[in-house]
Amino acid sequence: MTRETLVLGAGMVGTSIAYHLARRGRAVTLLDRRGPGEETSFGNAGIIQREAVKPYPFPRDLATLLRVLPNRQIDIRYRPRGLFAAAGPLLQYWRHSTPARHAAAVPAYASLTVRCTEEHQALIAAAGAEALVHKQGWLDGFREQASLEAQVANAEAIAAAYGVTHEVLDAAALKAREPHLRGGLLGAVHWTNGWTVRDPGALVKAYAAAFEAAGGRVEQAEARRLEQTASGWRLHTAAGMHEAEELVLATGPWSSRWLAELGYRVPLFPKRGYHMHYAMQDDTRLNHWLRDADAGYLLAPMRAGVRLTTGAELTTLDAAPRYGQLDAAERAARELLPLAERRDVTPWMGSRPCVADMLPVIGAAPRHDGLWLAFGHGHQGFTLGPVTGRVLAEQMCGETPAVDLAPFRLARFAS
């Protein structure tokens, strides 16, 4: 008998899970209030980051904290209300970011990242989405020699340990790759085995189409209430009711709200990001995805124009937008590259789901049969969605997962 499964959340993570379950013969419904890839997965930088084998730690050095305190930086900003609302998870994040604890988290995190491109490739092939993906890597640019040297040292270390490939570019070599840069960068690390995507939302939609071709069903409705039944789970939506034997929560930064209704407390907090698309002046162009690392923003040559993405803003999920961080990033970017007019009517914004110990939650809910969890990938949900989809589907279907999922269990938290 075919098992009915409901996946709530149609971002990269949820869509990938739905695809892998449908391929295993499940009767799967993928449900979201918006279409596939239209929330957080729409607004990211569009990089499948094979080099991202280390999660982002909380800065612990005094110089960085003092730099951030005036709240005028491009890479990180905060709102007092957001800091207060996330005080507990942020304190845990700070504690987990000691060098020893961060180092201890890397092997588990990297066990997912090292598989990211091969798992994306399986979905790319199934979706016929090769035209969206470019496999020439991306550029990590630096204004300061010390930070460039630190990244080069990091690149050499993770090359040896995790098979990450890179090339170091001095200013002349960088200018040869990007002839329309105006200066300001001393050099770059070219991460050569990362992939880039010119329309991230379109890639998720392509994966969703592959899911439908495998027999799955996509529905769009506002989810309102979740309840456990004698035979499984019931989800009440604005459009009606869904019942299934098993339910997967892949709801990103909203996951803690759903779980709180079931009695779980998860140290999850959002990091908001903004983006805007730009035309280029005259016949100039940007050839590669380029991060201005010391300033804290990234430029990406997307279908819609050059996308500028900000760093993180620590605020609440429902807070009104503040565009000062994006405006500051735009001023810095215009000094670096001949950007022309804005192409979007209003800036996009979205929130990354971050867990205090920097590891996502993947696996079964400890106190509720038939409830499965996949959220908290921080900055790397787009990168890690397909590998998460595979390993969670394997676990749900009684197979041995390709990755040890013990470090990602929700039960690692006390409540």
- Model confidence over 353-411: pLDDT tens digits? 999 999 999 999 999 999 999 999 999 999 999 999 999 999 999 999 999 999 999 99
**Residue 152 in domain:** yes
184/312 same-domain check: yes
Domain for residue 53, yes or no? Answer: no
Residues 281 and 391 in one domain: no
If asked whether residues 188 and 207 sit together in one domain, one would say: no
Last residue of a domain, one of 355, 376, 391: 355
pLDDT for residue 307: 98
**Band of pLDDT at residue 273, cut at 50, 70 and 90:** very high
- Model pLDDT, residue 77: 97
Q: Average pLDDT in the 148-168 region?
A: 97
Query: What is the DSSP code (8-state) at residue 230?
Result: S
- Residue 3 φ then ψ, to 5°: -90, 125
Tokens read off for 195:
């992939």
Predicted local confidence at residue 2, as pLDDT:
67
Same domain, 222 and 292: no
- Average pLDDT estimate for 172-182: 97
pLDDT at 208 over 60: yes
pLDDT at residue 65 is higher than 90:
no
Is the model's pLDDT at 113 over the cut of 80? yes
> Among candidates 15, 397, 28, 393, which has minimal Cα distance to 242?
28
Asked whether residue 388 is assigned to any structural domain, the reply reads yes
**Residue 311's pLDDT band (boundaries 50, 70, 90)?**
very high
Distance CA 121, CA 106 (A): 24
The answer on 211 and 69 residing in a single domain is no
Do 340 and 286 share a structural domain? yes
What's the pLDDT band for 1 if we cut at 50, 70, 90?
very low
Q: Provide the domain limits for residue 152.
A: 59-97+133-194+269-355
Same domain? 93 vs 223: no
CA neighbours within 13 Å on the CB side: how many for 120? Answer: 30
Residues 79-94 have a mean pLDDT of 96
Residue 241 maps to a domain: yes
Whether 46 is covered by a domain: the verdict is no
**Which of 312, 327, 355 finishes a domain?**
355
258: tokens are 């759903």
pLDDT for 89: 97
Residues 351 and 363 in one domain: no
Question: Measured between alpha carbons, how far is 23 from 393 in angstroms, rounded to an integer?
Answer: 9
Instruction: Please identify, among 340, 355, 370, the residue that sits at the C-terminal boundary of a domain.
Output: 355
Task: Give percent of the chain with pLDDT exceeding 90.
Answer: 96
pLDDT digits (tens, 9 = 90+) for 22-54: 999 999 999 999 999 999 999 999 999 999 999
Q: Which CATH number goes with the domain that contains 378?
A: 3.50.50.60
Residue 212 burial (CB count, 10 A): 16
Q: 168 with 277, same domain?
A: yes
pTM of the model: 0.97
Spatial separation of the C-alpha atoms in residues 65 and 58, rounded to whole Å: 10
Average pLDDT of the chain, as a whole number: 96
Give the closest residue to 384 by CA, choosing from 112, 21, 137: 112
Span 213-234, pLDDT tens digits: 999 999 999 999 999 999 999 9
Closest of 19, 7, 4 to residue 205, by C-alpha = 19
The helix, strand and coil proportions of the chain, stated in percent and rounded to the nearest 5, come to 35, 25, 35
DSSP string, 305-340: EEEEE--EEE--TTPPP--HHHHHHHHHHHHHS-EE
296 and 336 in a single domain? The answer is yes
Phi-psi region of 282 (alpha: psi -120 to 50; beta: other; left: phi over 0): left
The set of residues, in sequence order, having a beta carbon less than 8 Å from that of 343 and lying 6+ positions away, is 276, 277, 278, 279, 304, 305
**CATH code of residue 313:** 3.30.9.10
Residues 93, 119, 48, 305: is their CA dihedral positive or negative?
negative
Residue 382: inside a domain = yes
Number of domains in the chain: 2
145 and 87 housed in the same domain: yes
How far apart, in whole angstroms, are the C-alpha atoms of residue 90 and residue 105? 17
Angstrom distance (rounded) from CA 241 to CA 226: 10
| 89 and 153 in a common domain | yes
Residue 116 lies in a domain: no
In a domain, 104, yes or no: no
Which of 218, 250, 212 shows the shortest CA–CA distance to 14?
250
